[in-house]
């Protein structure tokens, strides 16, 4: 017998409009969208939006290593991370794993494979509420990035990889002020130690970045893994991304680079915390400026899972606001399309019944219920 459920008396956020009605779920998919229903679960006029899709989050790391030098049970860490992800309305999450020597000095190379195995184990045992996939953050200036990547070449959960170079003097760290804050103050380095660190990072970038970037890009093309650039700042960076076959431009640091990426057909991703806080924590371009210019395509919660739904509703409010369906698309249908997940990201017939009930009250959205494939998970 088919498994059915009806969610009624909802304000349904569709692709182009918001309208009152009911959604029929059958066997994990959306079977009907009607104007009304007298049976089913009463959503009391709350919004019903597609399950959110998160492409870039480092949130798992904080559960696995809650204090410097402390390591939590990996499966338990994944479960705790997953619970917060689902409670934030995220039904598909791409968990970021670092490839290449950890520039913060905090993780050994084998630990990323350990976390990936923990995700697979937890998912296989039915422990997780959200659908978890992998995003490999490839630090192309690192000497051992290809060794780290080798551990994941046969992993079908890898669906996204980003090309990163956090060496000083370019991209995110075009000036030394923020770099000094991140890597001298944060790590408590002396002036001499910091100078040595900067010199090493610059030398490694000059030596490895180009060859490693090419190797990672070639692997991703052959494996069908979606490729992302990271912190593009100049038109030259964008040209490089186009040549590499990049589909996702993560956190461009200038309006020029963001516009060029968008016009080249890439999805431009910015941080939802940037929207919520009203600007970038690192002093780069504000995400709302890109939204106002019509060149923001995807939002990522990055380090605060609840910021994803919060930012979408904020963008749909106030002067110069975009519509709620357009704002919701930034966290649902556009990220799905970017990484070729064609079965989700929209409330439409035959799509996966990944759904989120949201109450918007006094300017702050609250996630009240979450369904993945028609099953309540939060």
pLDDT tens digit sequence for 273-282: 999 998 775 5
**How far apart are alpha carbons 237 and 253 in whole angstroms?**
11
What does the pLDDT read at residue 26?
97
Q: Determine, yes or no, domain membership for 370.
A: no
- Domain ranges, residue 260: 51-342
- % the chain with pLDDT above 70: 91
Q: Is residue 187 over pLDDT 90?
A: no
pLDDT at 125: 97
More confident residue, 284 or 272: 272
**Residue 171: inside a domain:** yes
Whether 376 is covered by a domain: the verdict is no
The count of structural domains within the chain is: 1
Does residue 269 sit within a domain?
yes
Whether residue 353 is contained in a domain is answered as: no
Predicted TM-score (pTM) of the model is 0.92
Place of tokens 């704002």: 327
Q: Give the pLDDT confidence score for residue 180 in this predicted structure.
A: 63
**Residue 195: what pLDDT?**
77
Taking residues 32-47, report their average pLDDT: 94
CA distances from 58 to 62, 63, 137 (A): 8, 10, 10
Summarize pLDDT for 117-144 with one digit per residue, the tens.
Answer: 999 999 999 999 999 999 999 999 999 9
144, part of any domain: yes
Percent of the chain with pLDDT over 90: 77
Domain of residue 293, CATH code: 3.20.20.140
Q: Is residue 375 part of a domain?
A: no
**331 found inside a domain:** yes
Q: How far apart are CA 31 and CA 6, in angstroms?
A: 10
The model's confidence at residue 171, banded by pLDDT at 50, 70 and 90, is low
């Amino acid at each position: 017998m088919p498994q059915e459920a009806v969610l009624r008396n909802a304000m349904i956020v569709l692709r182009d409009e918001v309208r009152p009605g009911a959604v029929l779920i059958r066997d994990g998919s959306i079977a009907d969208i009607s104007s009304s229903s007298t049976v089913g679960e009463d959503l009391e006029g709350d919004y019903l939006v597609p399950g959110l899709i998160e492409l870039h989050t480092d949130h798992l790391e904080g559960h696995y290593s809650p204090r410097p030098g402390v390591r939590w049970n990996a499966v338990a860490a994944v479960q705790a991370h997953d619970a917060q992800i689902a409670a934030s309305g995220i039904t598909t999450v791409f968990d970021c794993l670092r490839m290449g020597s950890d520039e913060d000095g905090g993780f050994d190379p084998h630990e990323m494979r350990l976390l990936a195995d923990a995700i697979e184990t937890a998912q296989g045992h039915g422990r997780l509420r959200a659908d978890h996939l992998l995003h490999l953050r490839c630090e192309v200036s690192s000497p051992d990035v290809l060794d780290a990547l080798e551990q994941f070449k046969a992993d079908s959960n890898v669906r996204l990889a980003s090309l990163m170079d956090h060496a000083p003097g370019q991209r995110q760290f075009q000036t030394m002020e923020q770099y000094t804050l991140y890597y001298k103050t944060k790590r408590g380095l002396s002036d001499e130690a910091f100078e040595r660190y900067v010199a090493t990072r610059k030398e490694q970038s000059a030596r490895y970045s180009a060859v490693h970037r090419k190797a990672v890009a070639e692997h991703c093309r052959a494996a069908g893994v979606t490729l992302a650039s990271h912190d593009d700042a100049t038109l030259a960076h964008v040209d490089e991304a186009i040549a590499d076959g990049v589909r996702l431009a993560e956190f461009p640091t200038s309006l020029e680079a963001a516009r060029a990426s968008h016009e080249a057909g890439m999805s431009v991703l910015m941080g939802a915390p940037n929207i919520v806080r009203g600007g970038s924590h690192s002093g780069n371009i504000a995400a709302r400026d890109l939204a106002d210019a019509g060149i923001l395509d995807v939002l990522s919660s990055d380090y605060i899972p609840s910021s994803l739904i919060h930012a979408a509703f904020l963008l749909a409010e106030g002067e110069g606001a975009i519509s709620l369906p357009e704002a919701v698309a930034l966290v649902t249908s556009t990220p799905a399309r970017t990484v070729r997940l064609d079965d989700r990201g929209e409330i439409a017939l035959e799509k996966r019944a990944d759904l989120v009930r949201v109450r918007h009250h006094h300017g702050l959205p609250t996630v009240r219920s979450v369904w993945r494939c028609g099953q309540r998970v939060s």
